[in-house]
């Protein structure tokens, strides 16, 4: 899994990151609230371990903000705040679980696997990158907070790019997704046409479809879209 550890204590953060990497996971570290929020909104994460006492921006504020664009990202709060109100507030704001420090490693991993397993078993988790999200269950695409209509091939294309965000998607990958999926047949249109259409629809967002010359296309968050 690709896991974000949002923890301001460098000793604890290093221990968590080391153990998670030993388990075979890819790990990023956020030492404060704004960095944690940026990395979560950037997309591509499978789970987050979130401390509440983060500098610059409290963990509960980060949680409330990220849930607007990443409603299905598995988030485990790991905090020394053991009061009932803190636990209830964290769960009300959208945390999937709450574990109090000090903790046992085996329990943390069990809880982490449980929240990611629940998302995977749902079979229709929302895909997201930055402020763009795709809800397969509701057949809805949200761009910068607004619903956007997509054709069948545009939907399949965006779904593939979101699944493979940060990786190059080749034209062969796109053709395979169209043939394996349920996109309607629209003869006479090339992949370049659909890339152009999708770029136009993503313009209000912070997400870009970048052309990697000679290879394919790459979905990225954090920069203005290519016209």
Domain residue limits, the chain: 2-122, 127-221
**pTM of structure:** 0.58
Query: What separation in angstroms does the CA of 143 have from each of 54, 107, 158, 205, 220?
Result: 29, 37, 12, 6, 14
- Is residue 128 helix, strand or coil? strand
| pLDDT of amino acid 129 | 84
Report the CATH superfamily, name and number, of domain 2-122. Answer: Response regulator (3.40.50.2300)
Cα-based angle 167, 13, 44 (whole degrees, multiple of 5)? 20
Write the Ramachandran bin of 99: left for phi over 0, alpha for psi from -120 to 50, otherwise beta: beta
| pLDDT of amino acid 58 | 94
| pLDDT of amino acid 223 | 46
One-character DSSP codes across 191-225: HHHHHHHHHHHHTTSSEEEEEETTTEEEEEESSPP
- Tens digits of pLDDT across the chain (227 residues): 789 999 999 999 999 999 999 988 889 999 999 999 999 888 778 899 999 999 999 999 999 998 887 777 899 999 999 999 999 999 999 999 999 999 999 999 999 988 887 765 554 567 788 888 887 766 788 898 888 998 888 888 998 898 788 788 888 888 887 775 444 444 445 899 999 999 999 999 989 999 998 889 999 887 443 33
The CATH class given to the 127-221 domain equals: mainly alpha
């Amino acid at each position: 899994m690709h896991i974000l550890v949002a923890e301001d204590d460098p000793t604890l953060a290093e221990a968590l990151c080391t153990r998670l990497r030993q388990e075979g996971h890819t790990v990023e570290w956020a030492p404060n609230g704004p960095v944690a929020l940026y990395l979560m909104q950037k997309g591509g994460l499978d789970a987050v371990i979130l401390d509440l006492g983060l500098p610059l921006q409290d963990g509960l504020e980060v949680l409330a903000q990220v849930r607007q664009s990443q409603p299905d990202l598995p988030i485990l709060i790991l905090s020394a705040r053991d009061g009932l109100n803190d636990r209830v507030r964290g769960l009300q704001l959208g945390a999937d679980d709450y574990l109090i420090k000090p903790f046992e490693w085996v329990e943390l991993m069990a809880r982490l696997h449980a929240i990611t397993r629940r998302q995977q078993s749902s079979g229709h988790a929302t895909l997201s990158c930055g402020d763009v999200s795709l809800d397969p269950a509701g057949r809805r695409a949200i761009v910068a907070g607004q619903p956007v209509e997509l054709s069948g091939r545009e939907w399949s294309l965006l779904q593939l790019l979101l699944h493979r965000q940060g990786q190059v998607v080749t034209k062969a990958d796109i053709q395979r997704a169209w043939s394996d999926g349920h996109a309607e047949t629209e003869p006479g249109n090339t992949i370049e046409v659909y890339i152009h259409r999708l770029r136009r629809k993503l313009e209000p967002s912070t997400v870009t479809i970048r052309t990697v010359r000679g290879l394919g296309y790459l979905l990225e968050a954090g920069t203005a879209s290519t016209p």
